[in-house]
Amino acid sequence: MTIATQLEAALARADADMDQSLERLKALIRIKSISTDPAYAGECRRAAEWLAAGLREDGFEASVRDTPGHPVVVAHGRDALAPHVLFYGHYDVQPVDPLQLWNSDPFEAELREQPDGEVHIVARGSSDDKGQLMTFLEACRAWRAANGTLPVRVSILLEGEEESGGKNLPGFIGGAADELRADVALVCDTDMWDRSTPSITTMLRGLVGEEIEITCADKDLHSGMYGSAARNPNQVLAEIIASLRRPDGSVAVAGFYDEVEELPEAVAEQWRNLGFDEKAFLAGAGLTQAAGEKDRPLLQQIWSRPTCEINGMSGGYTGDGFKTVIPAKASAKISFRLVASQDPHKIREAFRAHVRERLPADCTVMFKEHGGSPAIAVPADGPYLRRALAALTDEWGKQAAITASGGSIPVAGDFKRLLGLDTLLIGFAHSDDRIHSPNEKYNLTSYHRGIRSWIRILAAFAGN
């Protein structure tokens, strides 16, 4: 049979099996795989075992692999030699607190029809990430059931610690690099552009987290007795923080933009055509004016330009009432979001030099590192990206969008650093899915057409 014939057979099988696919999702959701709470460690393992068993039933060689934390699931299909795709998802979920705000049992998926006819699958993990990862697994199931074998070689990596930091995954990937290397990585943990427009995220910003503590006197001082005579670390810290940005909104750390490249015009044009409403975006946070680089569109500010943000400050007395004290110490937590080509280590050192250069006499500074990861950018003309965009467009009947994310998804960086893989982030969630919150939901359309979308993508990858 031709790929086109196999594609139609797999799509028809997915449609016919939708009720069973939904029951399998409900069964996975019932497993309370809350990775942040040690009391649920057994449930996390149960979820891993459930997934591995299902993958074996679907013809994969699948096993549960131990880590110092929760286990991972690794599966390999041996249906074809090439191309080889590596799919990633995570089976762990966030805690459900506050439980009283849920309208139903968080671990019993409830189907709720909406006034517009859409049906919501309401449960913890329905969107993040059980519903998403199951779209891919169900696509493989439907394809194999319809055609006997998959059209491409598929490996699968399912994590159990994404919601609790994922600290053990990089070590696992590094140790299993030989069996995990593929031609491209696929991640289903992102949103569509809007409810009818699919998208592929091709840019993720990196991250540098820093905490600084400035010490002046060797103890807190009475502000009447020592005022003006003693250096105040709160003021020193405030002046340093104020020096991090220029009046035009750009970051003033020396060398910060040295490796920053301009957005390709073709991508910039595509973003301009997305119809992004800057005023509505800001209004959603009670704001009216963008505060970043003044010569940059807002989408570029949040997707493709590097940033510096102050995440927290403390120093002196902050309790009820008033205390006239000059504190001995003041601290701040600062994060930098990075774009492609920026080196997290170089940015960290540049920031520390910026602070030290502005430190007056009688002051010392301590730095504490809070992680760092490079940004990720997929080539805009990559063959797998082109094929995936075409497949999504065919399924949804609207041109699939190329988008970016202002956040960071560390596994994409791990795949690039440890396996040399570019990652396509293809998700079917909506921005109103209330992930991490009570009454999390996933649209039934996202689940059904997500399965169909992955079937089309597998066919597109096998087409050449």
Q: Quickly state the pLDDT bin for 165 (edges 50, 70, 90).
A: confident
For the chain, what percentages of helix, strand and coil (3-state, to nearest 5) are there?
35, 25, 40
Structure-token pair, residue 433: 């899915």
Whether 203 shows a pLDDT value over 60: the answer reads yes
Cα–Cα dist 35/418, whole Å: 24
Whose tokens are 């800001």? That residue is: 282
Domain 3-204+376-462 and domain 206-260+306-373, same fold? Reply is no
Q: Quickly state the pLDDT bin for 258 (edges 50, 70, 90).
A: very high
Cα–Cα dist 155/329, whole Å: 51
% the chain with pLDDT above 70 = 100
30 in Cβ contact with 123 (< 8 Å): no
Structural domain boundaries in the chain: 3-204+376-462, 206-260+306-373
Q: Residue 57: which residues within 8 A CB-CB, separation 6 or more?
A: none
Which burial class, exposed, middle or buried, applies to 287 when counting CB atoms under 10 A from its CB (0-12, 13-18, 19+)? exposed
pTM given for the model: 0.87
% the chain with pLDDT above 90 = 91
Structure-token pair, residue 76: 């390999």
Per-residue model confidence (pLDDT) at position 464: 55
Whose tokens are 């399924």? That residue is: 395
- Mind listing the pLDDT tens digit for each residue in 7-59? 999 999 999 999 999 999 999 999 999 999 999 999 999 999 999 999 999 99
- Mind listing the pLDDT tens digit for each residue in 126-138? 999 999 999 999 9
Q: What is the mean pLDDT of the chain?
A: 95
Per-residue model confidence (pLDDT) at position 379: 87
Q: Which CATH number fits domain 206-260+306-373: 1.20.1280.290, 3.30.1300.10, 1.10.3720.10, 3.30.70.360?
A: 3.30.70.360
Helix (H) or strand (E) segment spanning residue 177: helix 177-180
> Is 3-204+376-462 in CATH node 3.40.50.300?
no
Q: Please state the length of the chain.
A: 464
Whether 209 shows a pLDDT value over 70: the answer reads yes
Q: Quickly state the pLDDT bin for 374 (edges 50, 70, 90).
A: confident
- Mind listing the pLDDT tens digit for each residue in 296-343? 999 999 999 999 999 999 999 999 999 999 999 999 999 999 998 899
Per-residue model confidence (pLDDT) at position 228: 94
Whether 408 shows a pLDDT value over 80: the answer reads no
Per-residue model confidence (pLDDT) at position 381: 83
Region 193-214 average pLDDT? 94
